[in-house]
Amino acid sequence: MIKLQLHDTAGTFSLEEQIALLRSDLSLTAITAPDGTQSQFRHAIDHEADVCLNIIEVIAKCEKLQSPIVKLVKEKSPFFTERYRVHCSPAWVSLEEKVRSAFLHQFSASYFYGEEVKAWMLVQSQFSPLELEVLAHVSSIDYRNKENVQNYIDLFNLFTSRLAKHIQSSEYKKKIRDRNLVKKANKHACIELFSQLIAKFARVLVIRIDFSLKRDMDTILKHASSMTVPYSRHDLVYLKRSMKKFKNNWRNNKLLNDIEGFIFQYEYSHATGFHIHAYFFYDGGKHREDISIAQYISDYWKKITGNQGSTYICNMAKDQYKYCGIGMIHYSDIEKQKFLIKTFDYIVKAEQLFVFSELKNFKRFQRSELPKPKANTGRSRTLIATNSQ
């Protein structure tokens, strides 16, 4: 009997890594051709998500704010014309520019925002439209006018100082703690499932597939960076209904009935629409061909959806992942297990930053029941995966 303990802190992404991965995911759309050929293309991230991610970066910086962030600097001019500029502390140079569009941003009722964005919205409401105009359009300031430049500097420092004060409040901190408890519980659920599977089978075949509905290239390109919501709630209803039918059919299908565990995460993006990030776990002693099984699952999904479904098989691009935690994983391969847990950390945390409103009251994270323990037929082995930050 193999006993394995994987800590909840194993494979943890930093906030910077999390945001970088989110930006990458939201600007990348996968397409599977009718012949099964997979391709990916890059496009601009949608405006709403871009604003939210910039705000989250600002909030993170405000947690260790050293005021003032921006200062007035008088420039030397050979023509004796007085000019002034905004001097930004090194850590804020690029962020100060990126966040400008967020000052006047009209937040959409189509999204349920995380606590960071809500904090921004609260502080935003404390400034007049004229003040927000100044903050958003600093490039239009007359830099020969000291008062104008100083006005922008004062407003920016005031805005960020109020943000910093709000996120230090006990109310805000409690909301973040509560959110982190949910995240930790979901991650623990993922680790618990995999730990029991690897303990039972010694080798686990991990398959990662993204399920969605078909989108033609023109539609994807049209809506990739759109500020409007291109897909209706009926898409989500159809996706959920199709997945329910898909799961109900497993018991009547030998290969699908061999699925020992699964994890689903429902998400939304402008380019792809509603989609599901799915993990499937097989007994590695019985099954070894992850790509063949993944292709079978993909074909079955298309059949269930009347050829309206689309998939992207992550296992077909294993060599492209920096942290590859899919394919065959042996109980002794601690590094690969940590890589798998890193992906768990990402999916349970990313959705807490901002969520499409149609998904708010839906159980976005789903995990199968834990496997029944295997009869003890051999020597006990204990493995402990060390913490990884």
CATH of the domain at 322: 3.30.70.1130
Q: What is the pLDDT of residues 197-223, one digit of tens each?
A: 999 999 999 999 999 988 655 555 555
Q: Is residue 356 part of a domain?
A: yes
pLDDT digits (tens, 9 = 90+) for 240-299: 999 999 999 998 999 999 999 999 999 887 777 889 999 999 999 999 999 999 999 999
**Does residue 25 fall inside a structural domain?**
no
In a domain, 149, yes or no: no
Percent of the chain with pLDDT over 90: 53
Question: What six digits make up the tokens of 204?
Answer: 């686990």
For residue 255, the enclosing domain spans 2-12+184-385
Whether cis (ω within 30° of 0) applies to the bond prior to 373 is no
Which band of pLDDT confidence, cut at 50, 70 and 90, is reported for residue 81? confident
How many structural domains is the chain composed of? 1
Over 80: is that where the pLDDT of 359 sits? no
Q: Classify residue 128 as exposed, middle or buried by CB count within 10 Å of its CB (0-12, 13-18, 19+).
A: exposed
User: Does residue 379 have a pLDDT over 60?
Assistant: no
Amino acid 385: pLDDT: 44
pLDDT of residue 223: 52
| Residue 388 confidence (pLDDT) above 70 | no
- Between 223 and 366, the more confident residue is 366
Let me know: does 204 contact 299? Beta carbons within 8 Å: no
Residue 207 lies in a domain: yes
Structure tokens at 332: 């002794």
In this structure, is residue 172 part of a structural domain?
no
DSSP 3-state of 263: strand
User: Where does the pLDDT of residue 305 fall: very low under 50, low under 70, confident under 90, or very high at 90 and above?
Assistant: very high
In this structure, is residue 26 part of a structural domain?
no
Assigned domain for 332 exists? yes
The whole-angstrom separation of Cα 69 and Cα 91 is 9
Q: How many CB atoms lie within 10 A of CB 198?
A: 25
Predicted TM-score (pTM) of the model is 0.83
Residue 143 lies in a domain: no
Which of 131-140, 275-284, 353-362, 368-377 has the lowest average pLDDT? 353-362
